């Protein structure tokens, strides 16, 4: 993945987080790429699940349940890295 598309990936993830957070009455504009998403109080568990479902559909991935860890999906950076490892 080249740097430009890596930035595109992160932007897409941040935008989606902002959309979901808005439905919960939260403003996610200040979320940084290395902020831990579950600790940022922007998305609840159901919101994070929506984010994962979107992530799978957007990049045509099927994420095994055991891969749903803080390490792989806890930050915007981690989610972009997981995509790289998956060859997307």
Partner 1 sequence: MPTPLRIPRINNNDDTVRLTSILVQPGDAVRAGQSLAEIETDKATFDVEAENEAYVLSILHQPGETVEVGSVLFWLGAAPDEAVPHTETAAAETATAATGGTVAEPTLKASILLADYDLRADQVPSSGPRLTAANVESFVRQRGLQLVKQRTAQAEEPPAMLPSASGTHMPLTPEERGMLRTVVWQRDVAVPGYVEIQYDPAPWEAQATAYQKREKLLLSPLLSFMAWRLVRLAAENRQWNATITGADKYVYNSVNLGFTVQSGSTLYLAVVQEADQMTLPAFLDRLGLLQRAAVGNRLKPFEMSGATISFSSMARWQASRHIPVLPPNTAIIAAHAATRDGIATLGATYDHRILSGFDAISILRGMIAPEESD
Size of the site for partner 1 (CB under 8 A): 22
Sole binder of partner 1 in the list 24, 27, 34, 84 (CB under 8 A): 24
C-alpha span between 8 and 30 (Å, rounded): 17
| Sign of the dihedral defined by the CA atoms of residues 15, 57, 66, 9, in that order | negative
**N- to C-terminal Cα separation, the chain:** 7
CB of 44 to partner 1, least distance (A): 5
Q: Does 70 bind partner 1 (CB under 8 A)?
A: yes
Given the rule CB under 8 A, which residues bind partner 1?
24-25, 38, 44-50, 52-53, 56-57, 65, 68-74
């Amino acid at each position: 993945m080249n740097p430009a598309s890596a930035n595109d990936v992160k932007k897409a993830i941040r935008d989606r987080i902002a959309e979901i957070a808005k439905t919960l009455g939260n403003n996610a504009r200040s979320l940084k790429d290395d902020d831990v998403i579950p600790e940022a109080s922007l998305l609840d568990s159901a919101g994070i699940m929506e984010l994962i479902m979107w992530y799978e559909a957007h990049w045509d991935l099927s994420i095994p349940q055991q891969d749903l860890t803080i390490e792989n999906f806890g930050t915007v950076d981690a989610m972009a890295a997981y995509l790289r490892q998956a060859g997307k």
